[in-house]
Amino acid sequence: MLTKINVGPIHPSTHGVLRLVVTLDGDTIVDVEPHIGFLHRGVEKLAENRMYMQSESYMEKIDYVAPMAYSDLYVAAVEEATGIHPNERAKYVRLILLEFQRIASHLLWLGTFCNDLGLMFTMFTWTLKDRDLILNLLQDVTGSRMFYVNMRLGGVSIDLPPNFEEHANKLLDYLEKRFKEYEAFLEKNPVFIERTKGVGVLKREDAIALGVTGPVLRASGVNFDVRRDYTYYAYEKLHFIPQIQTKGDSFARYKVRMQEMKESIKLIRSALKLIPEGDALGMPIKLISPPVKEKEVIVRRELPRGEGMIFMVTDKQRPYRLSLRTPAFINLSALKQIAKGASYADLFSILGSLDLVMADVDK
């Protein structure tokens, strides 16, 4: 006797607007079917009607938890098409700002993940306070709290202020102490261990066949990271190492993101020592449609949620076709296979550990 339950669109535990139709047999899940499309607004069609640099602020609103990573992805695609490349100092400045953005995005994920598991609002208020300190530092550099639009062709819009290094080092020392407290709080907690160890196991062959990406792929034992394999900016000189776990359950996905935050702190510290002198400003924003040389462009970046890719066919003043590959779209399609055979209370632990943002799923 099978029963159907509707986890409706507006729900406190789904991060955004998502509808799941769950088929149960007693307490065991037989089938999960997601219905999406509640936030679809057609970004790929809108970008065909704008000039090149006018759609940079559209790309930031696709993923609103880590907006600077998407605007960096789009500006890199335009840079490949026009041939204006950033110089040495601009590469280091972009790397520092992007790694701060990665720490802020993982902190928000940690807060809402613990909300779903039942440790209600304790980790949420702690991690949101730390994220607010990082956003204040980024507000000193770029001028805005949430949507920065500070990537330009060949650099950034405003260079780093003169006393940035001591502020950043003070903040990184504070964050290291807080990460030790978070680990001591969570990893000996019997509620957390009971709800995440052995739950939602994804094996290595299934992970490659289903096409998942990001920390979900690295938690199943696949050694792949865009920052090392298709390298960009200055990751080679800073000796970057990707973090791998082998078990494939929810605890492994949590551990990968925790280790990535610590690795980002190391990268920022060594980048602040090796940064060269010079000028990191790019072209002014009045140059909306630069002269284009290439016909087809492919760019890849490592976003906090996975691997993102742009494939663009160019025209004279506006793109002819802009095709986006976002990581949350393909991570959601693996939910059906992971959740088969689990009990109903484990569904939210699995859904939280995949790290979805619903505006990323329906572009």
Partner 1 sequence: MSDERFENAKREMEQLVVDSLKNYKAPVGAFFTNLKEATKAIASGAIRWSRKNSLWPMQFGLACCAMELMDFGASRIDAERKGYLLFRGTPRQCDVMIVAGWVTKAVAPEVKRLYEQMAKPRYVIAYGECAVSGGPWWESYNIIKGIDQILPVDVYVAGCPPKPENLFEALMKLQEKVGGKIED
Partner 2 sequence: MKINKEELIKKLKELSSSGYNYLVKITAVDYIDHLEVIYFIRNMQNKKEENVRLDLKNGESLPTVIEIYKAADYYERELSEMFGIAIEGREVKRLLLEKWDGLEAPLRKSFQWGSDYKSG
- Asked whether 80 and 313 are in contact (CB, 8 A), the reply is no
Q: Return the DSSP state at 286.
A: T
- Which stretch in 12-20, 243-251, 288-296, 302-310 sits in contact with partner 1 by CB under 8 A? 12-20
Q: In this structure, how many other beta carbons lie within 10 angstroms of the beta carbon of residue 255?
A: 18
Is 137 an interacting residue with respect to partner 1 (CB under 8 A)?
no
| CA proximity to 73, closest of 60, 86, 90, 61 | 60
- DSSP 8-state code for residue 343: B
Binding site partner of 321, from partner 2, partner 1, none, Cβ cut-off 5-8 A by kind: partner 2
Separation CA 59–CA 71 (nearest Å): 6
The interface region with partner 1, picked from 25-33, 123-131, 295-303, 326-334 by CB under 8 A, is 123-131
222 touches, from partner 1, partner 2, none (C-beta below 5 to 8 Å by class): partner 2
Do residues 304 and 106 lie in contact, with contact meaning Cβ atoms separated by under 8 Å? yes
CB pairs under 8 A, 24+ apart, for 313-320? 314/81, 316/292, 317/51, 317/52, 317/289, 318/47, 318/48, 318/49, 318/50, 318/51, 318/52, 318/289, 319/47, 319/48, 319/52, 320/48
Structure tokens at 293: 């040389």
Q: How many CB atoms lie within 10 A of CB 165?
A: 13
Q: Is 132 in the site for partner 1 (CB under 8 A)?
A: yes
Selected from 7, 24, 30, 38, the binder of partner 1 by CB under 8 A is: 38
With binding defined as CB under 8 A, does residue 232 bind partner 1?
no
Quick note: the x/- pattern for partner 2 over 95-134, rule CB under 8 A, is: ----------------------------------------
Between residues 108 and 141, which has the closer beta carbon with respect to partner 1? 108
Site string for partner 2, 275-314 (x = CB under 8 A): ----------------------------------x-x-x-
CB 47, min distance to partner 2, A: 11
Compose the 19-58 pattern: x for residues touching partner 2 by CB under 8 A, - for all others. Answer: -----------------xx--x-x-xx---x---------
* Beta strands, E only, the chain: 3-7, 19-25, 28-35, 151-152, 155-156, 296-303, 306-314, 319-325
Of 107, 110, 153, 210, the residue at the interface with partner 2 (CB under 8 A) is 210
Angle between helices 88-117 and 122-142 (to 10 degrees): 160
Q: Which residues pair with 311 in a beta bridge?
A: 298, 323
H or E stretch including 312? strand 306-314
Task: Fill in the DSSP letter of residue 47.
Answer: G
Site for partner 2 in 323-362 (CB under 8 A): 323, 325, 329-330, 333, 362
Please identify, using beta-carbon distances, which residue of 167 and 363 lies nearer to partner 2: 363
What is the binding site for partner 2 (CB under 8 A)? 36-37, 40, 42, 44-45, 49, 208-211, 222, 224, 229-230, 309, 311, 313, 320-321, 323, 325, 329-330, 333, 362
Binding residues for partner 1, rule: CB under 8 A, are 9-10, 12, 16-17, 37-42, 45-46, 49, 57-58, 61, 64-65, 124-125, 128-129, 132, 145-147, 359
